């Protein structure tokens, strides 16, 4: 399930990850080449694949899907190297 964010505020990817820590985020970036990772959060949701599919079906210019910081930490192994 996903939700459209109507509030238009530009932020960095890191700020968006902190604002929506437990969600996947679809963000419309200002630049195509990620030289300036600033943009507008368009949708948030609990399924990254669903947001990626949404990005492909809608005209989200320079869209990128990524995880909130809570999800990144939840699936992290804490920096351990398993060999």
Which pLDDT value is given to residue 79?
A: 55
pLDDT tier at 74, thresholds 50, 70, 90: low
Average pLDDT in the 22-40 region?
88
Which pLDDT value is given to residue 6?
A: 92
Strands 2-4, 10-12: parallel, antiparallel or unpaired by DSSP? Answer: unpaired
Which pLDDT value is given to residue 19?
A: 95
From residue 37, how far is each of 10, 24, 79 by CA, in Å? 10, 17, 25
Q: Where do the structural domains in the chain lie, given as residue ranges? A: 2-74
From residue 55, how far is each of 22, 47, 58, 59 by CA, in Å? 19, 13, 5, 7
Lookup: tokens for 71: 């999800």
The residue that leads in pLDDT, 9 or 82, is: 9
Which pLDDT value is given to residue 61?
A: 80
């Amino acid at each position: 399930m996903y939700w459209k964010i109507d509030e238009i505020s530009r932020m960095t990817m890191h700020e968006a990850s902190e604002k929506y820590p437990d969600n996947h985020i679809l963000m419309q970036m200002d630049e195509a080449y990620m030289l300036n990772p600033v943009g507008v959060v368009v949708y948030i949701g609990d399924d990254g694949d669903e947001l990626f599919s949404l990005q492909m079906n809608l005209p989200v210019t320079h869209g990128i899907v990524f995880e909130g910081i809570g999800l990144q930490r939840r699936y992290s192994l804490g920096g351990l190297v398993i060999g």
